[in-house]
């Protein structure tokens, strides 16, 4: 293991040194610490000697991630600040602007970097706690100006609305945000939250805190001893539970799994049939889904057609067919589910696409969903055709037709140049041999040999011109 560590250090040193020598901009590095202080110092000093001109130190080890995150150790950051000569930035434990000031005072670093704290409160460095919807609207304005993948937008909004969406009363809005596929849909959810909580923020309604009771799973995740004094609609830090809580949960789960006297929990539907835990969880997820107009229309169509739905098959909201799709009429205590069948001819919205952004190809009109990272805002098939016809690349779809063609042309030119040099060298050697041989020949034989050589040159030049013409036609 020690040999592997030093091999990795030498490899990183070569990598950073190469960048430092060949780039006009400074090379910066961000690292995590080792449990061994001396190992951390050697690691950081190696990066400095290799050419790193700024070092950001995250005071956590590689294993401190997810539920085992814990607190960052600023002591390592302070020691590195004293040992190294390059500027040092600190990362970790930054939940507010007061943490920024405290970190600089305790460690003496040149700057502070934050990630998770800034995701939950984008105004962290200003020292304010704005309303979550104002930050969301500002972010969506930037998205309209600088388009981003839908998954990135959804992830940022879940961070901004973290405390609001963990309230039981906002379960439907949380499900709605998870199913959004366009910027207008994200704005709709943001506006609904603003309309709901703006009266409380302005003091027109009294916030009693009755809604602040979160789901049990959310409490376990964020810790039961972290009492935030800010209302949930304001941007505020996310407090992780200590790693000991996660270890206790794992130990308890192992104990229950190994207990021979523990009976396995059973689940039943409304008809008394035993169902799996996975099936029960799916039924409860369906219960939490927001009301959908298409589902209401399908119920009306079913009643008008007199369909009994005996075969237990229905058409899902997103247009695909599902076996035994559940309705919202699911009682968590009774575990009931209503199944139905709707004739596709009566359901006009059964095949409605869930993708709002379609391929921009108009000739012919393409109905495939647009690639979220496509440089040309096309689906993969249309993007490939466009790149092939117009000699382009697309980093989003990883289509590199232009790059490969340029590489092929460069290789062909290099091969031709090499072949030309070899032919020229061969001709020079042949000419040298002719000169040496002509000294031993009669004048008549020498003239005949020179004539043959000239004829070969003419034929060779004609062949080269023919090859050039063929390349032009290609």
The C-alpha torsion from 52 through 54 and 56 to 61, rounded to 10°, is 20
Tokens, residue 151: 């998954």
Q: Containing H/E element for 460?
A: helix 443-473
- Kindly state whether residues 75 and 29 are assigned to the same domain: yes
Q: Identify the pLDDT of residue 292.
A: 56
- Kindly state whether residues 57 and 93 are assigned to the same domain: yes
Q: Identify the pLDDT of residue 387.
A: 92
SS3 113: strand
Q: Which residue has the higher pLDDT, 261 or 24?
A: 24
* pLDDT score of 60 more than 90: yes
Q: Is residue 364 part of a domain?
A: yes
Tokens, residue 54: 């700024």
399 strand-pairing partners: 394
Q: What percent of the chain has pLDDT over 70?
A: 72
* pLDDT score of 7 more than 70: no
Q: Identify the pLDDT of residue 4.
A: 64
pLDDT single digits (tens) 335-353: 444 433 444 444 444 444 4
pLDDT, mean over the chain: 79
Q: Identify the pLDDT of residue 337.
A: 40
Q: Is residue 327 part of a domain?
A: no
Q: Which residue has the higher pLDDT, 217 or 357?
A: 357
Q: Identify the pLDDT of residue 187.
A: 96
| Interaxial angle between packed helices 401-438 and 443-473, expressed in degrees from 0 to 180 and rounded to the nearest 10 | 170
Q: pLDDT-derived band of residue 316, with 50, 70 and 90 as boundaries?
A: very low
List, in sequence order, every beta strand (DSSP E) within 239-386.
Answer: 267-268, 274-275, 313-315, 321-323
pLDDT single digits (tens) 150-206: 999 999 999 999 999 999 899 999 999 999 989 999 999 999 999 999 999 999 998
- Kindly state whether residues 143 and 93 are assigned to the same domain: no
State the total domains in the chain: 3
Segment 275-296 mean pLDDT: 72
- Kindly state whether residues 83 and 18 are assigned to the same domain: yes
Q: Identify the pLDDT of residue 444.
A: 65
CA distance 382 to 360: 9
* pLDDT score of 20 more than 70: yes
Q: Pick from 305, 291, 307: which is nearest to 340 by CA?
A: 307
Q: Which residue has the higher pLDDT, 274 or 171?
A: 171
- Kindly state whether residues 108 and 136 are assigned to the same domain: no
Q: Identify the pLDDT of residue 21.
A: 93
Q: pLDDT-derived band of residue 322, with 50, 70 and 90 as boundaries?
A: very low
| CATH code for the domain in which residue 32 is found | 3.20.20.70
- Kindly state whether residues 86 and 174 are assigned to the same domain: no
- Kindly state whether residues 57 and 98 are assigned to the same domain: yes
Q: What percent of the chain has pLDDT over 90?
A: 42
Q: pLDDT-derived band of residue 230, with 50, 70 and 90 as boundaries?
A: confident
Range of the domain at 173: 126-202
Q: Is residue 367 part of a domain?
A: yes
- Kindly state whether residues 3 and 107 are assigned to the same domain: yes
Question: For residue 112, how many other CB atoms are within 10 A of its CB?
Answer: 21
Q: Which of 61, 92, 114 is the last residue of a domain?
A: 114
Q: pLDDT-derived band of residue 473, with 50, 70 and 90 as boundaries?
A: low
Preceding peptide of 364 cis, ω within 30°: yes
- Kindly state whether residues 139 and 73 are assigned to the same domain: no
Q: Which of 86, 114, 142 is the last residue of a domain?
A: 114
Q: Is residue 17 part of a domain?
A: yes
Q: Is residue 86 part of a domain?
A: yes
Q: pLDDT-derived band of residue 272, with 50, 70 and 90 as boundaries?
A: confident
- Kindly state whether residues 105 and 145 are assigned to the same domain: no
Q: Is residue 233 part of a domain?
A: no
Asked which of 67-71, 286-290, 440-444, 452-456 is least confident by mean pLDDT, the reply is: 440-444
Tokens, residue 164: 């609001």
- Kindly state whether residues 184 and 141 are assigned to the same domain: yes
pLDDT single digits (tens) 421-469: 888 888 888 777 766 666 665 666 666 666 766 777 777 677 666 665 6
pLDDT single digits (tens) 297-308: 565 566 566 544
pLDDT single digits (tens) 95-129: 999 999 999 999 999 999 998 899 999 999 999 99
Q: Is residue 190 part of a domain?
A: yes
Asked which of 225-229, 243-247, 298-302, 422-426 is least confident by mean pLDDT, the reply is: 225-229
Q: Which residue stretches of 108-242 are H helix?
A: 116-120, 132-145, 150-160, 162-165, 171-178, 183-201, 216-222
Q: Is residue 136 part of a domain?
A: yes
* pLDDT score of 226 more than 60: no
pLDDT single digits (tens) 375-431: 888 999 999 999 999 999 999 899 999 999 999 998 888 888 888 888 888 888 877
How far separated are the first and last CA of the chain, in Å rounded? 57
- Kindly state whether residues 6 and 108 are assigned to the same domain: yes
Q: Cα-flanking dihedrals φ and ψ of residue 15, to 5°?
A: -60, -50
Segment 132-149 mean pLDDT: 94
Q: Identify the pLDDT of residue 2.
A: 62
């Amino acid at each position: 293991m020690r040999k592997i560590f030093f091999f990795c250090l030498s490899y990183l040193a070569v990598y950073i040194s190469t960048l430092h020598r060949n780039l006009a901009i400074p090379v910066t590095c961000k690292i995590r610490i080792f449990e061994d202080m001396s190992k951390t110092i050697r690691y950081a000093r190696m990066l400095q000697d290799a050419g790193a001109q700024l070092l950001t130190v995250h005071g956590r080890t590689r294993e401190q991630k997810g539920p085992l995150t814990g607190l960052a150790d600023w002591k390592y950051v302070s020691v590195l600040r004293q040992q190294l000569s390059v500027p040092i930035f600190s990362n970790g434990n930054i939940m507010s602007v007061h943490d920024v000031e405290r970190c600089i005072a305790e460690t003496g670093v040149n700057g502070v970097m934050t990630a998770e704290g800034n995701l939950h409160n984008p105004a962290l460095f200003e020292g304010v706690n704005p309303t979550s919807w104002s930050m969301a609207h500002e972010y969506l304005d930037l998205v309209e100006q600088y388009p981003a993948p839908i998954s990135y937008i959804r992830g940022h909004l879940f961070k901004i609305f973290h405390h609001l969406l963990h309230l039981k009363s906002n379960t439907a809005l949380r499900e709605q945000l998870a199913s959004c596929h366009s910027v207008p849909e994200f704005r709709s959810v943001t506006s609904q939250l603003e309309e709901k909580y703006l009266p409380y923020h302005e003091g027109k309604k009294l916030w009693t805190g009755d809604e602040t009771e979160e789901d049990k799973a959310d409490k376990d995740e964020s810790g039961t001893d972290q009492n935030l004094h800010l209302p949930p609609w304001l941007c505020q830090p996310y407090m992780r539970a200590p790693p000991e809580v996660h270890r206790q949960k794992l130990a308890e789960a192992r104990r229950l799994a190994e207990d021979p006297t523990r009976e396995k929990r059973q689940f039943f539907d409304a008809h008394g049939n035993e169902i799996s835990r996975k099936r029960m969880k799916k039924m409860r997820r369906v219960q939490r889904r927001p009301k959908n107009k298409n589902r209401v229309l399908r119920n009306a169509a079913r009643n008008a057609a007199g369909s009994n739905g005996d075969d237990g098959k229905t058409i899902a909201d997103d247009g695909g067919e599902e076996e035994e799709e559940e309705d919202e009429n699911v009682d968590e205590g009774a575990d009931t589910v209503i199944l139905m069948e709707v004739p596709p001819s009566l359901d006009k919205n059964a095949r409605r696409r869930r993708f709002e952004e379609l391929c921009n190809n108009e000739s012919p009109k393409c109905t495939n969903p647009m690639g979220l990272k496509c440089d040309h805002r096309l689906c993969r098939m249309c993007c490939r055709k466009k790149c092939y016809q117009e000699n382009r690349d697309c980093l989003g779809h990883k289509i590199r037709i232009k790059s490969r063609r340029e590489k092929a042309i460069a290789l062909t030119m290099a091969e031709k140049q090499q072949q030309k040099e070899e032919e020229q060298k061969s001709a020079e050697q042949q000419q040298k041999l002719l000169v040496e041989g002509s000294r031993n020949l009669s004048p008549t034989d020498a003239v005949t040999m020179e004539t043959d050589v000239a004829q070969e040159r003419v034929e060779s030049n004609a062949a080269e011109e023919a090859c050039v013409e063929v390349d032009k036609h290609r």
